[in-house]
Structures are given as C-alpha cells and as structure tokens.
Chain A
Amino acid sequence: MNTKRMVLYILSLIVSFVYLYMVWIFAPPELNLGERIRIFFQHVAPALIGYLAFGVTLVAGVMYLWKQDLRYDLIGAASIKIGLVFTTITLLSGMIWANASWGVYWNWDPRETTTLILWIAYACLIAYRASVNDRDVRAQYGSVFGIIAFPAVILSYISIRIWETLHPIVITGEGLQMGPEHGMTLMVSLIAVGLVYLLILDLTYRIDSVAERLMELRMQRSG
C-alpha cells in the first residue's frame, strides 16, 4: 500500500471518530430541534457529498470525452454508485427526521421530491450503462448521459430557494445560519463524509480497474 493511500485511510479513520464524537457528544441540543439536530448532521453531509459525487461524474464524463481515457470512465462510474449510496442515506435520514418532526415519513416536500428524482436519475444511469455491451460505446454514451443528467442535481440543490419548503436554508451568502458548535460539527461532518467518499472512490476504482483488466485478458484468451 502506498503512503498517500495509507495517509487517506488513517486520516479518514481519525476524522470519522472525531465526527462521531462531535455529532453525539459535542454538539448541544438545538433550541427548536432539540436532540433531532443529530440527525441533521447525518442528513446534510451525505446530501452535499452526494451532489459532489455526481459533480465528479460530470467532470469525469467531460474528461473522458476529451481524452478518450477509460480511467475517467471508471472514476465517473464509481462516483455514480457512491453518490447513489449517499443519496440513499440522505433520503432515509430525511425520512427518519420527518417522522420525528412532523409524524410522517414522506411529505412530498420539493427538496424530498427533487432528491428522489435525482436518485432515480442516477439509478437509471447505472441501468443504462449495464444495457450497453460494447465497452467503448458504454463509456462514450455513459459519459454523455452523466453530463445531461446533471441539471437534476442543480434543481435538487436550488429547490429550497425556489419553493416554499420544510427544509431550512442553512448555507447562505453570509455563511452558516447556525450556532458555532453546530457550524463546527457540520464542517467536521462534511470533511469526514468527504474523506469516506474519497476512500470508497479509491477502492471502487481499483476493484473496477482489476475487473476491467481481467475482462480484457479473458477476451484476449478467448480469441
């Protein structure tokens, strides 16, 4: 294992423990939300890192179309899977929070709805990629799909600014709209989830690269 990877793994582990400590012990109950604030950190951080993951798919798609290098396609495809996992966590934690706050799991709130569409969009992208057999064509068309699917991310992000919604606007031009302890905890949450994203991206990329190489060898052997 190389040094950079080792540093990433150790750093992720340390920051994850700090994240757990800050979310469950350090952060005080919020005035209105009470103890439910702890769900907030586990809801917002995966949501924002999920957006980032789909942004990485967009950039990787552009890079693949530009350079025609399959490594970018592998990164883009890996990022879709991780983005989907984080978006699933976002939806589930949001549902738990909604049930605790308003007594129902699903409110058809604009942010909820657009995030569910986002999840469906990228799940469809995975299904689409699986439907194309030729490796290069899959990379080419998958990259194009990854680019044109991105407006769904933008709509999900700006939905709370367009419509009346149950979701508060926490991140504004003037900074974070919360107390300093909660602001710090949110920042640590973002760093921790971001590091976990990088770690899983690295692992998925390596596994997919090996699987790709194995497939190439099988194809060569079969003639």
Chain B
Amino acid sequence: MGSGLSYALAIAKKDLVTQMRKRFEAFSMFLFAIIAVFVLGLVLSSATFIVPDPETRLIVMTEIGAGMLWVVVFFTGMFGFSPVFISESETGTLKGLSLAPIPAWSVYLGKVIYGFILMGLVELFLVPISMGLLGFTFAADVSPIFILATFCLGTLDLAAVGAMASALTMPAESKATVYPIVYFPTATTALILLVEITRMLAIGIPLVGPGIVDLLIILSGHVFAMVTLSATVFHFTLTS
C-alpha cells in the first residue's frame, strides 16, 4: 500500500516511460513551438519598419516578445496535454485506471506531473531559442528565483488545466475541436497573469501597479484553485 502521491508519481513515471519509447509527441511539441516562435519572430521583425528608433524598438520587442513566449507555450500545451486522458480512453486503458485500487485524484495528479515534466523539457529548449528569435532578455536586476518560480508555477498551472481539459474532452463527439474550447477558457486566466509577470521580468519592476510578488501570489492561488478543484471533482469523469 502506498500513498496517493506515490501512486501519482508511478502514473507519471509510466507516462514518461511510454513517452520516451514513442518520442514523437515531445518532439512534435518542440517542433510546433519552434515553428510558432519562428513565425512570430518573423512578424515581430516588421517592428524594424514600424519603430525606426532602435532604443524604442528594443523596448517594444522586449514587451511583446516576453508575452509571446507564453502564447507559444499555451498553444504548445494544446498538443502536449490533450492526449493525456484521450489516448487512455481510446486505447481502453482508462478502464484499468478507473478500476485500480487507488484514489482518483492520484490519477489526475499523476497526469499533471507528467504534463509538467513534458512541458518543462520543451521549455528548457524553447525559452533560450525564443529569447534569441523574439529578441528579449530578462532584466538584470530581477532575481533568478522569480524567473524560476514564474516558469514552474506557469507550467504547473497549464498542466493542471490541460489534464482536466483532456479528461473533460473524453465523452465529446469531435475531440480535436472540443479540446481547445475546454482548454482555452480555463487556461487563459493563467495566461494573462503569466504574460504580465514575464513582461515585468523582461522590462524590470514597474514603479506603479502590482509588483511581481503580488502577481505570483495570485498565480499561486490560481494554481492551488485549479489543482484542488480539479482533483476534487476528477473522480466524476472516471465514473460516468
């Protein structure tokens, strides 16, 4: 007998091992992200004509680029998170998970951990490439702890929402069409906060308005709300 968390880790490990065997999902996510960054970078390069002054252009590129990074992560998440339950449902292994003598929330948590690690791996490569192509860097006076906390909380939030959206998509008629309409509204709240925080990390702390710590606290609250709400009601998606 193990704890709910150890079951969750076992499920995450099972998914990661399966992913390592297949490889194509993580690689496809990464490729999609790179293509998206490339296209956005291409569009942003037109700022050279729109904003001729190099100093102003740098500020504009920093502000837009930092926000665009999360837009790319957000859409990449649609590829990465959507199969977490849908594939289990299609291959018939979901029945096994729902009948396993483990709490339903540990199944959900396992999928969140898997999504977090998968997206984290993609971000490890995506962030430096985005910084190069979208033309932004983090401000020198910002503590790396804030940067790390933002990416950890943001990825966890999107993984929590993405896993639940995948579970909700299982009974839908056209899964590929329905997944975005479940994922988008629940993840956009986090996206707004993440764009705002990352913009602050790139341009430095603003003198007016909320600080990074305030927004990180709100983001933590959102992560907590999404994980606890979803974990609490998750068993209803396994029992119908």
Contact = CB atoms under 8 A, between A and B. Distances in A.
B236 A140 contact: yes
Interface string B86-128: 0000000000000000000000000000000000000000000
A151 B168 contact: no
Interface in B3-17: none
B44 interface: no
A205 interface: no
B185 A140 contact: no
**Which of A113, A120, A131, A162 neighbours the largest number of chain B CB atoms within 10 Å of its CB?**
A131
**By DSSP majority rule, is chain B's interface helix, strand, loop, or mixed?**
helix
B236 A124 contact: no
Nearest to A124: B181
B240 interface: yes
A181 B177 CA distance: 50
B209 A164 contact: yes
Contact of B215 (A114, A149, A162): A162
Interface stretch (B49-57, B65-73, B136-144, B221-229): B221-229
A128 B173 CA distance: 10
Contacts of B222: 151, 155
Report, as a range, how many residues of chain B touch the other chain. Answer: 20 to 34
B186 interface: yes
A144 B171 contact: no
B182 A145 contact: yes
B230 interface: yes
A1 interface: no
Interface in A140-189: 140-141, 143-145, 147-152, 154-155, 162-164
28 contacts: A65-B236, A114-B189, A117-B189, A120-B188, A121-B185, A121-B186, A121-B188, A124-B181, A124-B182, A124-B185, A128-B168, A128-B172, A128-B178, A131-B173, A131-B177, A132-B171, A133-B173, A136-B240, A137-B240, A141-B237, A141-B240, A149-B185, A151-B189, A152-B186, A154-B225, A155-B222, A162-B215, A162-B218
Given A114-B192, A131-B173, A134-B171, 18 more contacts: A122-B185, A125-B185, A128-B182, A131-B178, A132-B171, A136-B240, A138-B171, A140-B237, A141-B171, A144-B236, A145-B168, A149-B186, A150-B229, A152-B185, A155-B192, A162-B210, A163-B196, A164-B208
Interface of A: 65, 113-114, 117, 120-122, 124-125, 127-128, 131-134, 136-138, 140-141, 143-145, 147-152, 154-155, 162-164
The 9 closest A-B pairs by CB, nearest first: A121-B185, A124-B181, A131-B172, A137-B171, A140-B240, A164-B209, A124-B185, A131-B178, A144-B233
